[in-house]
Structure 1
């Protein structure tokens, strides 16, 4: 395991210090002339389609679903590092929906095994770059081992502030809203307060959202060529710029991110105008 983690850390170093770093820094310097989004969210779609594409290439080998999820994990790590370099303060990734528990048990288990397998590497990378990690979702649906690791990582990184990484696992936006309402009702009922204070207000709901630790996303990137929110951040995405990327999630790269930010910068004045209209 230690050898595997060290090998993976070498790959992280290659991402940040490879031959293309000069070109990437030049690109990011140009991008920073315009507004840089504070928060980018990713809908990680297309893993299964990517897996189907890989199987003919791995005929006769041990390629399996775990390999697919490992590739998806690496795509997330690379996007996080690019955002870190660019100066984005918050990154959110839709890793696993509650609805995905309806898939074949072996497919669900492959994802959970991949998360456990890559947890040590994730911990080392986020500690190295002082990234605060938050797991958003109904963590009670996870295995005891995975839930304990998630809680520990959130505790260990709570004081970091270079970047906030939220991983939405066992999450749907509808579940998040129901959870927030239930929390509000419980909080209002247990306190001895007058009837006026028992009214649930907007600020109460938003305080009890899984995503309360981050501002609303300015860009939501959906991979796999899909044009849908997939029950993701429905409450928070009213003012978000939606960007569809044809690349499947494990294939997402630097240019996909650059084009999404350029598109955001192009439409930024329109979003600002709409925001001002709401405030009037």
Structure 2
């Protein structure tokens, strides 16, 4: 969800105004997703590299995350949305961690839409944490090195019970993946749009999905 800061700067406003507008756009996309046939939606909210931003912006983002969870909990439950989080929570404020755990527990039984929020997430960091978990199991004698398979590694990742993405969309004109779902997106289709996230509408999402539906996905094979 890239482009919030630029959206605000282009209008002469503080960057946090763009982040608040971006949070409103999340609500619209989440509401539209089920009717577009989407059952699993993952949004990249805060990366492991985003700590490099100013203290004011980071604190402002964390406050926006907390308000979003508090305000959306009831609507998520009402609309059958299950919400969960991926990423390293240990560096997050304890109050925010409690809010995250609370909405995960409250919405755990829903399945109309599975919404995953990546916060303090990085694909390399996730791989590193999963690899360390395997190394500890080997060192403790609970796992043989020959039993380390792709499935074993995937089972130690944050996304162990979430399907790999079919489609990854990046907004704002950037054409890089920026450490997002590095392992899981090996065979995902990609779409890069110049639209800044606060302007990314359900209608544009529908257009992208239509293009995706016309792609031939061979997963390394050849057409039948």
Give me the TM-score of the superposition, normalised by structure 2. 0.92
Secondary structure of the residue that 1:274 maps to in structure 2? coil
Maintained 8 Å contact 1:65/1:110: no
The 5-angstrom pairing of residues 146-161 of structure 1 reads 146-161=96-111
- CA gap of 1:116–1:196, structure 2 versus 1, over 3 A, is closer
Shift of 1:171: 0.5
- Partner of residue 219, structure 2: 274
Match 1:169 to one of 96, 113, 119:
119
Distance 2:97 2:145 in 1: 38
Gaps of 5+ in 1: 1-43, 56-62
Corresponding residue of 2:49: 99
Alpha-carbon deviation of 1:196? 6.0
CA distance in 1, matches of 2:53, 2:46: 11
Task: Render the CA deviation track for 1:210-242: whole Å, top value 9, x for unaligned.
Answer: 122211111111000111101101111121110
2:167 alignment partner in structure 1: 219
User: Does the C-alpha gap of structure 1 residues 186 and 67 become closer, same or farther in structure 2, counting only changes over 3 Å?
Assistant: same
What does the per-residue CA deviation read over 1:24-63, in whole Å, with 9 as the maximum and x for residues that have no partner?
Answer: xxxxxxxxxxxxxxxxxxxx111110110222xxxxxxx5
1:235 equivalent among 176, 183, 186? 183
SS of corresponding position for 2:38: coil
Contact 1:245/1:256 (CA < 8 Å) preserved in 2? no
The Cα of 1:128 is off from its aligned counterpart by 1.1
1:128 aligns with 2:73: no
Q: Which residue of 2 aligns with 1:16?
A: none
Aligned to 1:68: 18
CA distance in 2, matches of 1:192, 1:69: 45
Residue 54 of structure 1 aligns with which residue?
11
* CA deviation after TM superposition for structure 1 residue 185, in Å: 2.1
In terms of fraction of residues, the more helix-rich structure is 1
Looking at structure 2, the residues matched to 87 and 156 of structure 1 have their Cα atoms a distance apart, in angstroms, of 24
Residue 195 of structure 2 corresponds to 247
SS in 2 for 1:187: helix
- Aligned-pair Cα RMSD in Å: 2.0
Query: In the alignment, is the contact (CA less than 8 A) between 1:224 and 1:245 conserved in 2?
Result: yes
Unaligned runs of 5+ in 2: none
Find the aligned partners of 1:209 and 1:196 in 2 and give their Cα distance. Answer: 18
Q: Which has the larger radius of gyration?
A: 1
Structure 1 residue 254: Cα displacement: 2.2
Once residues 124 and 70 of structure 2 are traced to their aligned partners in structure 1, the CA distance between those partners, rounded to angstroms, is 31
Aligned residues: 224
Check the 8 A contact 2:5/2:16 in 1, yes or no. Answer: no
SS of equivalent to 1:215: coil
Length-normalised TM-score, structure 1: 0.75
- What is the 5 A alignment of 1:15-34? none
Query: Per-residue deviation at 1:275?
Result: 5.3
The correspondence for 2:33, drawn from 79, 83, 96, is 83
* Cα deviation, residue 174, structure 1: 0.2
